[in-house]
Structure formats: C-alpha cells, structure tokens
C-alpha cells in the first residue's frame, strides 16, 4: 500500500521509497525504510496528505505520497 | 582578531532570529519554512573581536533541489569562514542532525547550537549537551533566541572551535566503499578541488553537482544512495537515544496551549471549515484595517492635515512669497504628500496582522489545505506564502517564490502575485472609495481584494489550459511548523520597521515626485505659473494626448492619467497626485468613474520596483510578459466592469455593448485555445514541440 491510501491516525511503517524524481528529497527529509509514519489529515481536492514522522509534521502532494510504500506496523 | 562565521541548518530553525540577535539586525523572520531566500552578512563586535556573520537560506541536504539551496551549498563549499554555526530546532533533533552529518563529512569546524530550548523546557525536558557533543565530536550550545539569549556563549564556542583541528570519527562511513570510489575517481576529485571525503560520499549518493564537477569517471551503483541515507539516520538514532532527558514538569500554561493548538488544528485543517475560516480571518483583518480602528486614526490625521493646509496658507499669504510657492507648499506638499502619510496607521495595522499570520504558523496550514485547488490551476500551495506577502509589498513578495521547485510554476506565481493589492494601493482605495461610497466604502474595498484574487485564479487557470504556459510536475513537500506566538519585542519591531519604511518612502520618492508633478501640472512653458485646470499646463498638454485611451474606462481626463502614470514609480503617488491636482471629487466626475479607476489601479503594474523583482526572479522575457499582462488585464477587466455596470444602470444601449464585449472576449479566449491546441502534434503523448 502507498501512503496516499493510509487510514487517518493509524501508525504504519515505511517499507520502501520508490525510485524516481523525488526519491532523494524524501530520503533526505527522513522518509527511510522502517521509520514509523502516521497520516494526520488529507486536504480537499486532490489528496495532499499531512503526515507525522520522526517527531515532525510534513505535507506531501499525492504525487509525492505515492513514492512511499507503507505496511502495517 | 577578525572571524567569519556562517549560520546554517534546516529551514525554520531560527537562523535569522539568531542572526538578528547576534548582529542587532532586523532581517525578515517568520514561522514558516523558506523565509530567507538569499545570503545576508553583517559584522558585529564581541569582546574586542570583529565577527562577521553570514545567514543562509535553510536546506535539508547538501544534495540540493532549488536555487536558494544552491546558494547555501555554494557558500558552505566555497565560502571563506572560520567555522559553521549549525542551528538545530530542539523539538526535531533527529531530522536536524542529518544535514549536520553531511557538514561533518566536509571536515570543517562546526559548532552546534540547539535553538528553541524554551519550548523543550516548557514541557519539562532538556538535552544532554555534553553527551550529544561527545558523540558527534562537536561543541553543543543550548539556547533560545526568544528567551534568555546569550550570544557570547555561541561566539566564544565558535572562536575556540575555529582554532583547533578535530579528528572526527563518523563510524557509519566504514560501511560504505569510500576508499574504492575515491581510487576510481582520484584524478577527477583532485582536479575538482572538492574535499576528497565529501566528494567520495556524494559520488556514492549520485549527487549531480559532484558528478559533473568530478567529470565522467566511475559512477557508483544506485543502491548506495538509499544506503548512505539509511546509515546516517541509523547513526543519528543511536546518538539521540536517551539524549532528551526529563528534568521537570510540563507547565500548566504549556498544557493549555497544546490543547488550544490541537483544537485550532481541528478547525483549520477541517475539509469543510478551512476555507470559510480563511475568508473570515481575512475579512476580519481588512475590516479592522479599513473599517474601524484604522480609519479612526486616519480620519484624525486627515483633519489635522486640513487644518495645517488652511493655517499655513493664511500665514503664508501675509508674507511676500510668490503665489505659486504658497500653493506648492500648501497643496503640492502638505495636502498631497500629507494625504498619503495620513495612512500610516492603516498600513502599520495591516502589516501587523500579516506578521501575526506569518508568525503563528497559520499560513503553512492554509498552504496545505489549498494545495489541491492550486494544483488544479498549475500552482502550488506554497504560492499562498507569496500571495499573502503580496498584500504587504508586491516587490518583496515576488522574491519569496524562490522555494517553488518547478520553474514554470515559479515564474507564473511571480507575474500573478502583483494582481493582489499591496499596501501601497491601500491609501488610494481608501481615499477614493471613502469620498464616493461613504459607509459602504469598506465593502467596495473588500470587493477589490476579492477581484484581485479572482483575477489571479482565472489567469492561472487560463495559463494552465494552454500548452505553452502549463506547469511541469511540481512537488509539494512542505514541513508544518508548530503554532507560535510572537514576542512583544517582535511585534513592536514589526510596527516600527514598517512605519519607518513607509515614512521614508513618503518623505523621499513620493515628496520629490509630487513636487515635480505639481510644477508640471501648474506651469505652462510660455506663460509660467497658471494654476491647474486651465488647459495649458505642461502636464495637460502631454496627457491630453494620452487620455483618450482611457475614455472608454470612464476616467479619460489628464489628472487621472497623470496619477496613473506617476503611480508606476510607487502606488502611493497615485493618491498624492490626485490630491494635489484638485482632490478626489474634481478628478472623478462620478462614482462609476472612481470605482473604474480603482479597478484599474488594482490591476495595472504595481511599481517599477516590482518589475525589477520580476526580472530578477524570472528574467527579462517574463518581466515584459508580466508588464503586458498587467496592463492588458487592467484595461480589459476595467472595461468589462464599466460596461456591465452601465448596462445595469443605463439600460439597453450599454447592455448591447456589454453583451457584445463579453461575446468578443469569449471568442478571443476560444481562438487562443484553438491556436494553442493546434500546437499538439498528431499521435504524440508529448514531445519538445508540444511540451
């Protein structure tokens, strides 16, 4: 499952970050495999998602959230 | 002794706040990621030493993604400094240490400053600075730019660190094939003059900049990219374990504010409430600025100015000064320029609210909630920052678009932002609307703000529907700051610095320009002083040639045209010109002409400074495009507005004109669309010809 399909407020674990244009940026921001992640909210029209990881909060557009493969924690 | 230190770190950790504290400066700060977009430096004295401090835009990694991040990387790689001062946010240590590790790999002197400690103390926690410092091989200073700041501690740590050479041990590097990648690219690395360890690690990370500097050598396997990142974060996790210690209790105040913050997020991040809340907040701000408190102060000052004009005139008449000089002083200077200066309270109030929006962390939430909408019209939620700043000053707002990573999106944001009314347009709106609409003027002004926003959205949507100006695949990865309350000191500083900027502008540009315009408007080349309105003054001669262009818009008289032209220098001058050329009611015959003039003022080129900013950010081509776009849009929208208004008030004749205008506009839009569509090749999913 990718991050854009996450259920609100449940904790997941990052399985992998897919290869592509944004991979590097996401890795640098701390989206690394095995890191715990939680979806805090979705914006209307288009599904930009707000997530919490490593103790900080970050918003990702759907196209970026689809890079992040998650699994149940 | 002289020292040079560079402040660096992730975005929104308080680098510029520290910079302001250390150098006693007033650089712009705000509670969002990406406020600083350029390198700033200043010197200060500390215990007899000259210390030069450089402030840089924040970034996440030495492998950069945008222009402002490049500025930071280049300063760190090639700048001359004695030590880096690496600023971290106390609440987000592990992500903050990631960039630090990359700087340590560079093998330069670094001092770590953990800022915002007050937020950690408030929840009854602290950081074991010694343990952290020992693990990383750097001195660690705990501080808070907001409360109890001690700059001397940071500077003396940096001075001490710059004098000794530490051999650091970064154990995670042992798991990477650094030796082998170095050997394979030895010649290229030596030639590039990059530090060997940095270059080797970045080659493993497939950093485009290092790969191109080193030249076509041996390229690393892609699996090392994620591997390097993973090893760094694993090391960070081992270092930060048990580094935050509980040494007290969470204060009751902090508990209450946390509850308030989560309540605010429930409303502001609610799908259905977010937009209505935004409209409510903005209307509230404008209502206070224009309607109640702001206009109360402005009215008092205006009454004072009227008294000043009358008493000065009656005093000067008794002297032997020439009539023209008396008129120049009374109407050209006191009435014209003073009439603009009277808006000081409103401008200060508006900037105060904008700063509160900026510092609270609200704009980031708005950016998140609107990103979906903005994506549909080819912009990004991040553009919200630029646009809100645009209510303050278009010229400086344009510069904040740098953080957008798609070039087309950035350039479009840059040319569209000036459609939103900046604070310089505020005096024009208030004075002209106030004279014609009385109590309803607040609604008229709110309408102008809404119109500005509608024009931005509509233009963006039109750009996005064609092929040529379509945005690329932008990304939106934006950190969300905590809610914060600005300190009293900061609020006073905002009020003071904006008041100062405004008064200096009025006292210089507006004054000089207005004296020139008054003279040109009251003197004739052949007869000398003749007064305004006689038809022979120099300005009347010139502007009567141009004014017919504006006749369809309802204000085709030389005074209004002069005001618009002088407004190109600074929008405040529009009002001072109108004031000194006879006053609002003399310049505009009726309320429709006045509101049309305001619509035009809203949309045409804000000022030459903004054009300069557009050129700086997007290049000359985009500046010319922006200029044409703004002049064209202003004309077309004002014409449409006037015809529609006339149709309602004056019946069938104008109704036909309005309908045919809209028909022609629709036809033109359709034609443009067809022309752009034709550019698409047959059976092609996208090539360099059709984007």
ipTM value for the complex? 0.95
**DSSP structure class, residue B482:** P
**What is B371-430 written as a DSSP string?**
HHHHHHTT--TTHHHHHHHHTT-HHHHGGGGGG---HHHHHHHHHHGGGSPPTTHHHHHH
Burial of B320 (0-12, 13-18, 19+ CB in 10 A): exposed
List, for residues B162-218, the tens digit of each pLDDT value: 998 777 889 999 999 999 999 999 999 999 999 999 999 999 999 999 999 998 678
Q: Does B233 contact A35 at a Cβ distance shorter than 8 Å? A: yes
Q: Residue B419 and residue B626: Cα distance in Å, rounded?
A: 10
Cβ-contact B116, B91 below 8 angstroms: yes
List Cα–Cα distances, B399 to B16, B489, B612, in angstroms.
17, 26, 11
- Integer angstrom CA distances of residue A68 from A40, B130, B172: 16, 36, 25
User: Are B558 and B581 contacting, i.e. CB atoms less than 8 angstroms apart?
Assistant: no
CATH architecture type of domain B171-246: Orthogonal Bundle (1.10)
Element (H, E) at A52: strand A49-53
Tell if the CB–CB gap between B233 and A21 is shorter than 8 Å: no
CA distance A67 to chain B (A): 12
**Contact yes or no for B229 and A26 at CB 8 A:** no
B69 class by beta-carbon count within 10 Å (0-12 exposed, 13-18 middle, 19+ buried): buried
Q: What is the mean pLDDT of residues B445-455?
A: 91
pLDDT at B310 over 60: yes
Give the rounded distance of the alpha carbon of B473 from its chain centre: 23
Confidence class of residue B691 from pLDDT cuts 50, 70 and 90? very low
Q: Is the pLDDT of residue B690 over 60?
A: no
Beta carbons of A55 and B92 less than 8 Å apart:
yes
CA angle, corner B41, sides to B40 and B44, nearest 5? 145
- The per-residue pLDDT for B626 is 95
User: Are B475 and A61 inside 8 Å of each other by CB?
Assistant: yes
Torsion angle (degrees, nearest 10) of CA B16, B20, B26, B30: 30
Three-class secondary structure assignment of B224-255:
HHHHHHHHHHHHHHHHHCCCEEECCCCCHHHH
Residue B553 has pLDDT above 80, yes or no: yes
- Identify whether the C-beta of residue B380 lies closer than 8 Å to the C-beta of residue B476: yes
Rounded (10°) CA dihedral B330, B335, B338, B342: 150
* Residue bearing tokens 């305001």: B598
Q: Does B479 touch chain A (CB under 8 A)?
A: yes
Name the DSSP letter for residue B90.
G
What's the residue count for chain A? 73
Q: Which residues constitute the domain of residue A40? A: 3-72
By Cβ distance, the residue of A32, A59, A60 closest to B229 is A32
Report how many domains make up chain A: 1
Percent of chain B with pLDDT over 70: 95
A interface with B, Cβ–Cβ below 8 Å: 17, 19, 21-30, 32-33, 35, 40-48, 50, 54-61, 63-64
Q: Would you identify the CATH topology of the domain B2-163? A: Rossmann fold (3.40.50)
Distance CA B550, CA B556 (A): 5
How much is the pLDDT for B676? 59
* Distance in angstroms (rounded) separating the CA atoms of residues B219 and B215: 10
SS3 A68: strand
Of A22, A45, A58, the CB nearest to B478: A58
Tell me phi and psi for residue B574, to 5 degrees: -55, -45
Distance CA A57, CA B279 (A): 25
Nearest to B372 among A25, A44, A64 (CB): A44
Q: Domain-by-domain residue ranges, chain B? A: 2-163, 171-246, 277-479+486-506, 523-643, 651-691
> Residue B534: pLDDT band by 50, 70, 90 thresholds?
low
Q: Which of B410, B359, B360 is nearest to B382 (CA)?
A: B410
Residues of A in contact with B376 (CB under 8 A): 45-46
The answer to whether the beta carbons of residues B41 and B24 sit under 8 Å apart is no
What is the percent of chain B with per-residue pLDDT over 90, rounded to a whole number? 57
B119-170 pLDDT, tens digit per residue, is 999 999 999 999 999 999 999 999 999 888 889 999 999 999 999 877 788 9
What SS3 state is found at B176? coil
Q: Chain A within 8 Å of B372 (Cβ-Cβ)?
A: yes
Helix residue ranges, H only, B604-678: 608-618, 620-650, 652-678
CA–CA dist B305, B299 (Å, integer): 10
Mean per-residue pLDDT of chain B: 89
Confidence of residue B442 (pLDDT cuts 50, 70, 90): confident
Q: How far apart are alpha carbons B354 and B687 in whole angstroms?
A: 43
C-beta atoms of A29 and B477 within 8 A: yes
CATH number at residue A53: 2.30.30.90
**B226 in A contact zone (CB under 8 Å):** yes
Size of interface A-B (CB pairs under 8 A): 118
Confidence of residue B674 (pLDDT cuts 50, 70, 90): low
- Residue B684 scores a pLDDT above 70: no
| Contact between chains at B375 and A35 (C-beta distance less than 8 A) | no
Output the six-digit token pair for B636. Answer: 């077309």
Which of A19-28, B29-38, B68-77 holds the top average pLDDT?
B68-77
Q: Rounded to a whole number, what is the distance in Å from the CA of B227 to chain A's nearest CA?
A: 10
Of chain B, the end-to-end C-alpha distance in Å amounts to 57
Chain position carrying tokens 């600005």: B486
Token pair, residue A18, equals 């897919």
Strand pairing category for B140-142 and B110-115: parallel
Per-residue model confidence as pLDDT tens digits over B477-521: 899 999 998 888 888 888 898 899 999 999 998 999 989 988 888
pLDDT attached to residue B651: 64
- Angstroms from A56 CA to nearest CA on chain B: 6
- Which site among A59, A60, A67 would you substitute to test the B interface, given the most B Cβ atoms closer than 10 Å to its Cβ? A59
| Gyration radius of chain A over CA positions | 11
Q: How confident is the model at residue B655 (pLDDT cuts 50, 70, 90)?
A: low
User: Do the Cβ atoms of A59 and B368 come within 8 Å?
Assistant: yes
């Amino acid at each position: 499952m990718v991050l854009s399909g996450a259920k609100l407020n449940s904790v997941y674990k990052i399985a992998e970050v897919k290869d592509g244009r944004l991979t590097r940026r996401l890795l640098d921001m701390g989206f690394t495999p095995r890191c715990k992640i939680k979806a805090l909210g979705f914006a209307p029209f288009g599904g930009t998602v707000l997530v919490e990881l490593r103790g900080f909060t970050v918003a990702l557009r759907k196209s970026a959230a689809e890079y992040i493969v998650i699994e149940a924690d | 002794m002289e020292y040079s230190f560079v402040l660096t770190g992730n975005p929104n950790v308080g680098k510029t706040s520290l910079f302001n504290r250390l150098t006693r400066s007033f650089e712009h700060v705000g509670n969002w990621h990406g406020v600083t977009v350029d390198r700033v430096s200043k010197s200060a004295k500390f215990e007899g030493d000259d210390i030069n401090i450089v402030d840089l835009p924040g970034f996440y990694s030495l492998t950069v993604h945008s222009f402002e991040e490049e500025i930071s990387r280049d300063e760190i790689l090639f700048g001359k400094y004695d030590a880096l001062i690496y600023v971290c946010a106390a609440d987000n240590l592990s992500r903050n240490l990631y960039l630090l590790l990359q700087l340590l790999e560079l093998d330069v002197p670094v001092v770590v400053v953990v800022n915002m400690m007050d937020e950690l103390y408030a929840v009854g926690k602290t950081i074991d600075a010694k343990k952290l410092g020992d693990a990383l091989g750097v001195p660690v200073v705990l501080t808070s730019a907001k409360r109890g700041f001690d700059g001397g501690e940071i500077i003396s740590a940096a001075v001490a660190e710059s004098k000794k050479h530490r051999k650091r041990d970064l154990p995670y590097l042992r798991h990477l094939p650094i030796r082998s990648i170095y050997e394979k690219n030895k010649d290229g690395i030596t030639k590039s003059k990059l530090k060997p360890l940095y270059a080797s690690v970045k080659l493993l990370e497939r950093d485009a900049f290092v790969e191109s500097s080193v030249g076509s050598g041996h390229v690393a396997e892609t699996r090392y990219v994620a591997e390097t990142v993973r090893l760094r974060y694993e090391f960070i996790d081992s270092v930060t374990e048990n580094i935050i210690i509980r040494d007290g209790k969470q204060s009751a105040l902090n508990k209450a504010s946390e509850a308030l913050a989560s309540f605010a997020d429930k409303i502001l991040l609610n799908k259905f409430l977010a937009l209505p809340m935004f409209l409510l907040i903005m209307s509230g701000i404008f209502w206070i600025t224009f309607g109640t408190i702001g206009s109360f102060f402005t009215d008092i000052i205006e009454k004072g100015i009227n008294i000043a004009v009358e008493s000065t005139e009656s005093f000067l008449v008794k002297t032997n000064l020439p009539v023209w000089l008396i008129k120049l002083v009374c109407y050209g200077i006191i009435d014209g320029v003073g009439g603009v200066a009277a808006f000081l309270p409103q401008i200060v109030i508006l900037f105060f609210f904008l700063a509160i929006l900026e510092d609270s962390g609200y704009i980031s939430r708005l950016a998140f909630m609107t990103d979906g909408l903005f994506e549909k019209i080819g912009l990004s939620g991040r553009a919200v920052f630029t646009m809100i700043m645009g209510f303050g000053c278009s010229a400086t707002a344009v510069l904040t678009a740098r953080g957008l990573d798609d070039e087309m999106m950035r350039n479009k944001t840059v040319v569209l932002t000036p459609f939103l009314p900046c604070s310089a347009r505020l005096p024009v709106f208030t004075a002209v609307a106030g004279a014609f609409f009385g109590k309803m003027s607040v609604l008229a002004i709110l309408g102008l703000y809404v119109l500005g926003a509608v024009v931005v959205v509509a233009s963006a949507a039109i750009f996005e529907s064609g092929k040529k100006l379509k945005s690329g695949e932008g990304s939106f990865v934006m950190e969300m700051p905590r809610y914060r309350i600005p300190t009293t000191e900061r609020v006073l500083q905002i009020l003071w610095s904006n008041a100062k900027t405004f008064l200096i502008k009025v006292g210089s540009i507006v004054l000089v320009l207005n004296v020139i315009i008054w003279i040109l408007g009251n003197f004739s080349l052949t007869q000398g002083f003749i007064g305004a309105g006689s038809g022979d003054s120099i300005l009347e001669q010139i502007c009567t040639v141009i004014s017919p262009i504006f006749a369809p818009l309802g204000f085709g008289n030389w005074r209004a045209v002069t005001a618009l032209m002088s407004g190109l220098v600074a929008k405040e001058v529009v009002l001072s010109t109108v004031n000194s050329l006879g006053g609002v009611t003399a310049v505009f015959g009726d309320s429709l002409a006045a509101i049309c003039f305001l619509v035009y003022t809203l949309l045409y080129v804000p000022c030459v400074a903004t054009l300069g900013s557009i050129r700086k950010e997007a290049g000359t081509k985009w500046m010319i495009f922006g200029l044409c776009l703004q002049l064209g849009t202003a004309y077309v929208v004002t014409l449409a507005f006037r015809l529609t208004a006339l149709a309602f008030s004056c019946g069938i004749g104008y109704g036909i004109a309005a309908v045919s205008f809209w028909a022609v506009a629709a036809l033109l839009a359709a034609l443009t669309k067809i022309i752009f569509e034709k550019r698409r090749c047959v059976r092609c999913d996208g090539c360099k010809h059709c984007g």
